[in-house]
Amino acid sequence: MVYLTRRYRFSASHRLHSEALSDEANLRIYGKCDSPFGHGHNYALEVTVTGPVDQETGMVFDLVALDGIVGKEVLERFDLANLNLDVEEFRSRVPTTENVCERIFHLLDGKLQGGGPLHAARLARVRLEETSSNFFEYEGDRGVSTHGPVQGNHPRPLLTKEGS
Amino acid sequence: MILVTRRAEFSASHVYHNPKLSPEENRRIFGKCNNPHGHGHNYALEVTVGGSINPTTGMVVDLKELKTLLEREVLQVMDHKFLNQEVPAFASKIPTTENIAVEIWNLLAPKLTFGKLHRIRLYETSDLYVDYYGD
């Protein structure tokens, strides 16, 4: 299996604030990210697909098709948007980068798995950089890791946060 | 297991073209990458080797040996080459980033006697890379 990763960029604003918590709790948990005016990021999105290398084309996935799918499902939704106000799901779910990463995975998964011109390929991972110090990865719950062949079951989604 | 990665760069040109397909199909599938004159990239290669830390040397692998191996088995084969015509493996296989990554694995794995090859990562551009774990 070969893993192909394509990087995209989008700019968006968000506010980290949970209606289920008090103002004091929001401030304590989210700090400056709770500012009512919001703030923004240039997000860097990596979409990884995996599959066998097609004998005829030498490719795992048609990049033009991948760009089209990511453009339509993700960039049109999120680029230059206020995630809290412009994206339906995040009216009721805090648009932390964890949640955005997971949402992007599920937006793409149904469109990439078994789809496109190379039907054996599928979505393996979404990696989302909020800043150069913080990035998040989600691999769904299929028991396959892009960090190398997994010995035995991989029972939970791999959701990592590194940096500070 | 500790993973150690060595990075190298090489510059090469290639064409995406399958002679078994019609010219129209080649253009449709590969777009501008089907330009018969070819185009080029500065490829960035990351070779990751896994192993335990040797208690005497404190190293997983001798990076000088890894560097020499990369130079001999990969860079001398691919650097400043037109991949389609100057690398034997790509006479019959399209030098897509996927196929180049697999070929680099095939070139290195048998010669890596001092560690276990874990992953080949090959960047065609800063926004596009391929990982291969040998499976």
Q: In this complex, do A58 and B131 lie within 8 Å of one another by their Cβ atoms?
A: no
pLDDT of A109 over the 60 cut: yes
Whether A53 and B102 lie within 8 Å, measured CB to CB: yes
> Which strand (E) or helix (H) includes residue A44?
strand A39-51
Q: Does B74 touch chain A (CB under 8 A)?
A: no
Pairing of strands A81-82, A2-14: parallel
Total domains, chain A: 1
DSSP B33: G
Q: Are A101 and A39 in contact (CB under 8 A)?
A: no
What pLDDT, on the 0 to 100 scale, is given for residue A145?
Answer: 64
Range of the domain at A25: 2-162
Q: Give the pLDDT mean for A116-144.
A: 82
Residue A163 has pLDDT above 50, yes or no: no
Angstrom distance (rounded) from CA B79 to CA B29: 27
Determine which of A53, A62, A145 to mutate to test the interface with B (most B C-beta atoms within 10 Å): A53
Q: Tell me what the pLDDT averaged over chain A comes to.
A: 84
Instruction: Give the CATH number of the domain where residue A93 resides.
Output: 3.30.479.10
Query: Could you tell me which chain A residue has the CA closest to the CA of B97?
Result: A59
For residue A153, pLDDT beyond 60: no
Buried b (16+ CB within 10 A) or exposed e, A57-85: bbbbbbbeebeebbeebbbebbeebebbe
Per-residue confidence band for A78, with pLDDT thresholds at 50, 70 and 90: very high
- Whether the per-residue pLDDT at A162 is higher than 50: the answer is no
**A151 pLDDT exceeds 50?**
no
Averaged pLDDT for residues A118-124: 81
Is the pLDDT at A113 greater than 80? The verdict is no
Read off the pLDDT band of A44 (50, 70, 90): very high
Which residues from chain B sit within 8 angstroms of residue A52, using beta carbons? none
CB spacing of B128 vs A57 below 8 angstroms: no
Comparison of pLDDT for A160 and A127, the residue scoring more = A127
Query: What tokens does A15 get?
Result: 């506010």
* Residue-level pLDDT at A37: 87
| Strand ranges (E), chain B | 2-14, 39-51, 81-82, 116-125, 128-132
Rounded to a whole number of angstroms, the distance from the CA of B79 to the nearest CA of chain A is 21
Fold for the domain defined by B2-132? Tetrahydropterin Synthase; Chain A (3.30.479)
The domain limits of chain B are 2-132
Model confidence at A5: pLDDT above 70: yes
**What's the average model confidence in pLDDT over A128-153?**
72
Query: Residues in chain B with pLDDT < 50?
Result: none
pLDDT for A143 beyond 60:
no
B95 contacts on A by Cβ (under 8 Å) = 58
Percentage of chain A with pLDDT > 70? 82
